[in-house]
Structure 1
Amino acid sequence: MKSFALLPLAVFAASYLQPVYADTQSQTATTGTSASQTKSDSSDVEHITVKGRALSLYRVDDGSTALKTPTPIERTPQTVQVLPEQLIEDQGATDISDLYRSISGVSQYNYSWVTFRGFRQDNVRYDGVQGDPYGDFSTPLLFNIQQVQVLKGPSGALYGAGDPGGLINYVTKKPSYTPNNKLTLKTGNDQFNSASIELSGPLTAGADQRYRLGFYQDHENPYRNNTDSRHRVFDGGYAIDLDEDTTLTLQLTNVKEHESGARMRGIPTDKDGNFLTSMRWNQNEKSDFEQLEATSYQARLDHDINSWLSTNVTLRYYHNQELQKYHEPTSMTDTNGDGVADYTERQFRDQNRKNNAGSVTANAVAQLDNHTLLVGAELFQQNQDFLYYRANTADGVVGISYDDPQYGVTDPNSYVMHLVTDTHSKAINYGLYVQDQWRITQAWDVTGSARFGGFDDKIDDHKADESDSYSDHWVSYRIGSTYKINDNLHPYLSWANGFVPQDVSDQLSSAGGPFDPEESQEAEVGLRTYWLDNRINLNLAAYHIVKKNILQTDPDDTDKYVALGKVRSQGLEMDLIGDLTENWVLNLNYAYNDTVVKDATDGISRSYDGKRFANSPRNQLGIWTRYDFKSIASAISFGSNYVSEQFSQDGYRVKAYNVFDAAWQTNWNTWLFQLNVKNLFDKKYAVSGFLGRIGEFPGEHRRVYATATYKF
């Protein structure tokens, strides 16, 4: 932990590395563009001064995530949402969970998972390519993120294995053509403190070489018993224009996280969703922890071969280690006979995951008269070593009371540990894809995408002294069209399918496997509308998704999974971004979703068939609005997040909730001061459920943050 103490010195030293600039510039966050376009767009964007208008604050017309080509959203036959840096900063967001209110159809599941159009998933990309260094149990921090791009629906036609609900793409901050430097200090309740510094700009007079250096660190003591949280991120980048048509960008990010009292489970509830104990309750001892250390490396080469043909190649590699030592609830026991559970037995779990993974992605984009052709290829390989020991009650683990938890009764070092899993796995997936965007008329576009992809997985089970392998291939496709009726109305429709191979570790017979890959199909129809001289953008979408072979925890044996036969999701979404007045911005979204199990696999229909899918709320409403007081260089913001009733995997009710936030900003010279209050009325609620014995995952209590940002 000594490294955490070095932050003040690092901030002090770094602040003297660059001269002071009065105006702070922003950088482009476009993906999928050519080298010359990127440089041109950067020069334009970097000199924009925000005046409180919606079009320069929250609205981004970039559909490159959906099509991997520089295409406006209005010509993209699929729902796309882009959350820019300004919205991230206004909401005081430190990780993606703070932004779910601004993404229609997305709600929190647990840890890094979300519910996306009714389905649980954690499928993400960085700059459009595979390689998530945060792993399965940690949520990506937003310190080095320029934009959060959200593609709704299956993405398999271009991105390969992907969940049908959608895809989240994190656009990272790149070295900028003009100086873009800031120092940020933040403090809040629960002993929260953080500091960060970002330095970016040209290294040469002509800006043909550029750099970025960023450092972030925080610490807090969350309100639940025995918890302590520390995060540190170092982010560096170097870009060089090799010539006027070629740019090479190199990036390195190192992340360290230490969560004491974790891995966090939920708060126990009864079947109606009523909490059975204090919101501070925790099944973990103070010595329990989750720890992550990860480093990612990325290199991207953009090259314009001529005026109509451009290419890009991205190499991404990461390695990480996830250590977890935690107590797991295993029962809900009524010790006094009053009919209410008040005690749980526990397991102790010691898990060590080591991962290294790499991907190479190459694209060529050709502009041929009325056709934009994309041809690409992708290869991804991940290696994992997983070591898992466990102790139960008979091995010295003591249970814990809901009403009067006694910690430190036993020492985990005294437990008799038993080996559960010792595996080495290698997962390879690959794909070749092609896409044609045909501009039939100035108003009518038709897009067709297809991908041949597959996987080849192998797992060595050292405990059982056996090995197994799994492989398959498939063709994914997407067909869509957009039409411009007039300046106000832009309808679209699409049809797509998707495949997702099961995690190689889940294929073991000890986990209930092997299982067939997940398969999905989706039909979507939408309407994009623009009103009041383009100041109001209202988007509507309706979708129907069918997904097969979804793994869920077996309610009779939590070490195993069961595969559901077929789950159907259908719903409506509405997104509005508007400049209501010159100073008043509104971001509003609503989603209706109905996800039910239509055909449960033989043997588990008693638990699932005909039921609503776990953690899939029917109604969600998210609001974020900002009003600027130009005369005093200040702004006030207000937000709300409503999520309707849900159900856990074993049918426990998760009550509906509505949480309100507020923020105040004011500028003084080159300083920005900001106050954010989250969960304004300190509501006690759960964001989701899992299994009854684990409880429901509580939302944050009231959090108050004060931030000071110095731009130079």
Structure 2
Amino acid sequence: MMFRRGLMAAALGMQCVAAPALAEEDAPRDVEEVVVTARAQKLYRTEEVSVGKLPTEPLAASQTVQVINAELIHDLGARNAQDLYRNISGVSFFSYAGVTARGFRQEEIFFDGLRGDPYAGFSVPQLFNIERLEFLKGPAGMLYGPGAPGGLFNYVTKKPTEVFAAKASTVVGTGSRYGGSVEATGALPVEGLSARAGVFYEDRDTPRRNAGDKALILDTGLKYAFDLGEVTLQATRYEQDLDANRLRGVPVDASGRFLTSRRWNHNEPTDFLNFEANVLQALATLRPTDSLTLSGGVRHTEALETQQYHEPQGLFDSDGDGLVDATTRQFRDQIRKQQNWSVGVNGVWSGALAGVDSRVLFGGDWFKQEASLDNRSKTGLRTAQAGSPPPLSLFDPAYGLVSTSTYALGPFVRTYTDQKRAGGYLLYEATVGPLIGTVGARYDDFEDRSGATTFSDSALTWRTGLVYRIRPDVSFYGQWAQSFEPQAATSQTPLAGGPFAPTEGEMFEGGVKTELMGGRLQTTAVAYHITRTNILQADPRGDVDGDGVNDQIAFGEIVSKGVELDVAADLTPNWVLTAAYAYNDTRITKDNGRTVLTNAVGDRFANAPKHTLGFWTRYQFPELGLAVAFGGDYVDTRVSMSGQKVRPYTIFDASLIYTRGPWEALLRINNLLDETYAASGFIDRTGHFPGEPRSAFLQLSRQW
């Protein structure tokens, strides 16, 4: 409570103004390069691309990072992470904060280059205190250690600036949406000292019956700049109250069409998911010489998620007419806690080695997380029984028939999961004429504990890259990179045949980047081939050693092949277009002949569309203070984890932005044509996740 009151007082004690986009020198350097996907004439364009563990201009880098910057986040009217995925080629929604990236399910999230997601469990990152989102494509093991081979999300938070700026906003919209925010940044009356504070609150009814969403963010920061660098301290409080919002999908038929209303909810009105987290962070950058830059950070997170919800357990025909019309349910009462520490240090040296222009990247990181889950549950049957959750109709759901307080719940059962990660890396870059070559390696130690099972191991990952700048505005590039993911600690027991080596990823990628027409036309075209091996699955021989536990075997292989094309063009001084297309073919290429791989359906991979296309365009009328923005999103046919068809969809959104002096009005309309569609598939008993119906909100802001 004292933490929350202190943040509130700091935020309200400053003038109610909002920070514009941060200067590049205020941004932490935590990915290797930037490909600018969010740009418009002096609005979306980022002309200085200096962020990264190894700062590199796009045409000189062999890795690809797509960036959604503050201006695009604003024009999109984006409130949380799910609003941004369509703007990144090769990325589509999977569930909650998880996505499909280059064919693979990906849930790893970094903040300011540090491992550790404060949004525990089933909450989705909010964007109020986010300056930009960076997505590093492909395996990132050499830079960041364990992770999925499809890519890595890094959220860059807002930092204090010396230039005073501030903003106050209020919002109203459909679904009884209302809320407001204030934020301010500027210099303090101490040489080199600046601060930032912000408060965000929003309340709305979400589209599913009974469901609501309340969010509160209290954010503060203090920055001290001196001759050799700067130090930034940050403290953030996150709260979300999600009424009846521990959501699964809506059941579908064989063709992938919803059996009932997309607003159907399996949760009771009294169900909830409440989340709170406190985050403390310190970042530092030092420049002891012109050729050496050192940076580092440490973050501590404590998060608590409590939830009570009804989980769909099985569809059935309640009246004998041959049609499925109801589901049994299980009630779950859960408490999830996590506490983690994340530390990272990074250095870049530049100069000449043996007469060759060179740069050396070196650094390391350490991460420790302690997590626990307290769980108790009660499963109901097809007919209502005392002490059990009653079934629920798909077409005429009756809520509140039985109080959850009458359920015959057993005692809480607690499970623990602890993680330790430590790694160090070294990369060398050499430039010889138009050729730029890189080679780097990283060594990792990791230890996982789940209950009584503890497992530790190590891994060595490599990356090499080559760029050929055929012209100053055209370059060809290629890279080979590796990744690894430790197997779940619960699977490492010797009774099941463990321990097992990590799952491994390997990628070959090549493409061309351009900055034509004086930089007004930027393009990236890339083809890639990713192989994921050593995937754990059940041993077809069963209990091999006769100890009473069925064995497992690391045997599976998945291959992902694809092409991506990103275009950002200034069509006129007032008209900009960005577009992102991706083709992906992800296939199961090796299994044990009897056991289905996780997220696999036949030789396909769940929620991996072959084609996706997203675009966003904005036209501004400077003399009127008016801008009109319009975007679309197409996602091809997919299959759910149960093999059910997930139908393709196309939706459109729009924003209208009116500015008069320090005032701005933003009108945002989502799903203009009110299309009914599934954003992704899950399993047959829970159905597909429905996309949101048409909605709108109006945000009024005042800047100083």
Normalised to the residue count of structure 1, the TM-score between the two structures is: 0.90
Residue 33 of structure 2 is matched in structure 1 by: none
Return the match for 2:64 from 79, 82, 87. 79
TM superposition shift of 1:339: 4.1
SS at match of 2:42: helix
Partner of 1:238: 222
Match of 1:358 in 2: 341
Question: What secondary structure is seen at the aligned counterpart in 1 of 2:159?
Answer: coil
Once residues 20 and 695 of structure 1 are traced to their aligned partners in structure 2, the CA distance between those partners, rounded to angstroms, is: 44
Partner Cα distance (1:327, 1:33) in 2 = 43
**1:146 is the counterpart of 2:98:** no
Aligned to 1:126: 111
Cα offsets for 1:486-526 (capped at 9, x unmatched):
13321100001100113445657999987642211111001
Kept in 1, the 8 Å contact 2:39–2:72? The answer is: no
Separation (CA, whole Å) in 2 of partners of 1:445 and 1:189: 52
Partner of 2:287: 304
Aligned to 1:325: 308
Aligned residue in 1 for 2:273: 290
Report the equivalent of 1:200. Answer: 185
Displacement after TM superposition at 1:334 (Å)? 2.3
Is 2:85 aligned against 1:100?
yes
Q: CA deviation at 1:17?
A: 3.5
- What SS class does the counterpart of residue 93 from structure 1 fall into? coil
Matched AA of 1:449: G
Of 688, 691, 695 in structure 2, the residue corresponding to residue 703 of structure 1 is 695
- Within 5 Å, give how 1:589-600 maps onto structure 2: 589-600=580-591
Q: Distance in 1 between matches of 2:410 and 2:95?
A: 27
Is the alpha carbon distance of 1:421 and 1:55 closer, same or farther for their aligned partners in structure 2, counting shifts above 3 Å?
Answer: farther
Is 1:685 matched up with 2:677? yes
In 1, are the aligned partners of 2:536 and 2:556 still within 8 Å (CA)? Answer: no
Alignment of 1:28 onto 2:24: yes
Secondary structure of the residue aligned to 1:335 is coil
Q: Percent identity?
A: 37
Letter paired with 2:305: E
Paired residues for 1:617-696 under 5 Å:
617-696=609-688
One-letter code aligned to 2:678: A
C-alpha distance in 2 between matches for 1:552 and 1:699: 32
User: 1:583 is matched by which residue type in structure 2?
Assistant: N
Check 1:169–1:355 CA distance in 2 against 1; reply closer, same or farther (3 A cut).
Answer: same
Residues 1:272 and 2:265 are matched in the alignment: no
Partner of 1:222: 206
What SS does the corresponding residue of 1:485 show, helix, strand or coil? strand
- The 3 A distance-change label for structure 1 pair 551 and 201 is farther
Alignment partner, residue 375 of structure 1:
362
Q: Match for residue 375 of structure 2? A: 388
Query: For the residues of structure 2 that align with 1:426 and 1:16, how far apart are their CA atoms?
Result: 40
- The secondary structure found in structure 1 opposite 2:643 is coil
User: Amino acid of the residue matched to residue 387 of structure 1?
Assistant: D
Q: The residue matched to 2:673 in structure 1 has which SS?
A: coil
Q: Which of 574, 591, 599 is matched with 1:583 structurally?
A: 574
Corresponding letter in the other structure for 2:213: S
Secondary structure of 2:236's aligned partner? strand
Q: Does 1:170 align with 2:155?
A: yes
Structure 2: runs of 5+ lacking an equivalent: 31-37, 382-386, 540-550
| CA RMSD, Structure 1 to Structure 2 (Å) | 2.9
Cα distance, 1:33 vs structure 2: 5.0
1:539 is aligned to 2:524:
yes
Q: How far has the Cα of 1:25 moved from its partner? A: 6.7
Distance (Å, rounded) in 2 between the aligned partners of 1:381 and 1:62:
35
- Residue 116 of structure 1 aligns with which residue? 101
**Which one of the candidate residues 465, 469, 476 is aligned to 1:484?**
469
Aligned-residue offset at 1:14:
6.0
Distance 1:561 1:328, change over 3 A: farther
CA distance in 2, matches of 1:366, 1:657: 48
Moved more, 100-109 or 333-342: 333-342
Amino acid at match of 2:216: R
Counterpart residue type for residue 15 of structure 2: Q
| Alignment CA distance shift 1:106-1:33 (3 Å) | closer
SS in 2 for 1:305: strand
Equivalents in 2 of 1:543, 1:527: separation in Å? 12
The separation in 2 between residues aligned to 1:382 and 1:593, in whole angstroms, is 34
Tell me by how many angstroms 1:591 deviates. Answer: 0.4
Secondary structure at 2:463 match in 1: strand
Please give the alpha-carbon distance, in whole angstroms, between the structure 2 residues aligned to 1:385 and 1:410.
Answer: 30
Is 1:430 matched with 2:417?
no
Conservation of the 8 A alpha-carbon contact between 1:343 and 1:401 = yes
- C-alpha distance in 2 between matches for 1:238 and 1:504: 39
Match of 1:493 among 472, 478, 490: 478
TM-superposed CA distance for 1:578, in Å, is 0.9
Q: Does 1:156 align with 2:152?
A: no
Task: Report the Cα offset of residue 249 of structure 1.
Answer: 0.6
- Per the TM alignment, residue 10 of structure 1 is displaced from its structure 2 partner at its CA by 6.8
Shift of the alpha carbon at 1:138? 1.3
Q: Does 1:414 align with 2:406?
A: yes
2:303 and 2:337 in contact (8 A); partners too? yes
* Counterpart secondary structure, 2:84: helix
Whole-angstrom distance in 2 between the partners of 1:290 and 1:550: 33
Distance 1:339 1:372, change over 3 A: farther
Residue 59 (1) aligns with residue 45 (2): yes
Q: Which runs of 5+ in 1 are unaligned?
A: 35-51, 461-466, 555-559
Aligned residue-pair number? 675
